[in-house]
Amino acid sequence: MILNQILDSIDLGLVILDRDFRIRYWNRWMAVHSGIPFNEIKGAAIFDYYPHFRNKKFLRNFRAVVTFGNHYFFPQKLYGYIFPFKPESNFVSEINYMQQSCTMGPLRNENKEIEYVYISVNDVTEAYIYETNLASALLTLLEKYVDKEEIPAEAAQSILDELLPTSSKEVLAKHGKSPKDKDTHAVIGDQLVDILSEIAGSNR
């Protein structure tokens, strides 16, 4: 009872599957963000509600967890999300789906046998949007420096590769050259000016 209260209070999604992919636990966080209550989804195969999990990669990784006790990670930068939930209301205008960082791992019984598999779901939407705006502001500022010939194009590319967790080409392809939130752009831009000035000086 106490454990259930704790698991239903944490700001994290938690799903527990048996070896046949049936849902044995679905915490309150998952119920709120999916719109599906636990008493409805309990005992159903996860594929019944989320058929996209029926793919070779997920099935292979699930079997590795069950067989060898491996842990598997679903980083946001590679997957974006694994559960197609809507983002919190203050992010709806900026992104279609909640960005997630997820982990899948084994749960053992008293005999040390792997009986269940858990999936944890962490909402990283806010960090993702901030990173996107930061990347866009950085790209815009670097373009200005390159246009003024204060930074060589090669040095600008080097700066992007060094500072951004994703490549500049990927950022441009996915998000364009400027963020949607102009106010955020201005604030972040001001924060970057001093940094870029120092970098420009060291690359001359």
Last residue in a domain, options 123, 154, 169: 123
pLDDT of 201 higher than 60: no
Per-residue confidence (pLDDT) for residue 195, from 0 to 100: 46
Say if residue 71 is in the same domain as residue 112: yes
pLDDT of 101 higher than 70: yes
What are the backbone angles phi and psi of residue 25, rounded to the nearest 5°?
A: -150, 145
171: tokens are 């950022």
pLDDT tens across 191-200, in order? 444 444 444 4
pLDDT of 147 higher than 90: no
CATH code of the domain in which 41 resides: 3.30.450.20
Per-residue confidence (pLDDT) for residue 56, from 0 to 100: 96
pLDDT of 133 higher than 90: no
Structural domains of the chain, count: 2
Say if residue 72 is in the same domain as residue 141: no
Q: pTM of the predicted model, to two decimals?
A: 0.72
Last residue in a domain, options 123, 157, 172: 123
pLDDT of 161 higher than 70: no
Say if residue 149 is in the same domain as residue 112: no
Contact between 83 and 13 under an 8 Å Cβ cutoff? The reply is yes
Residues 6+ apart with CB under 8 A from 134: 188, 192
Q: Which domain holds residue 153?
A: 128-202
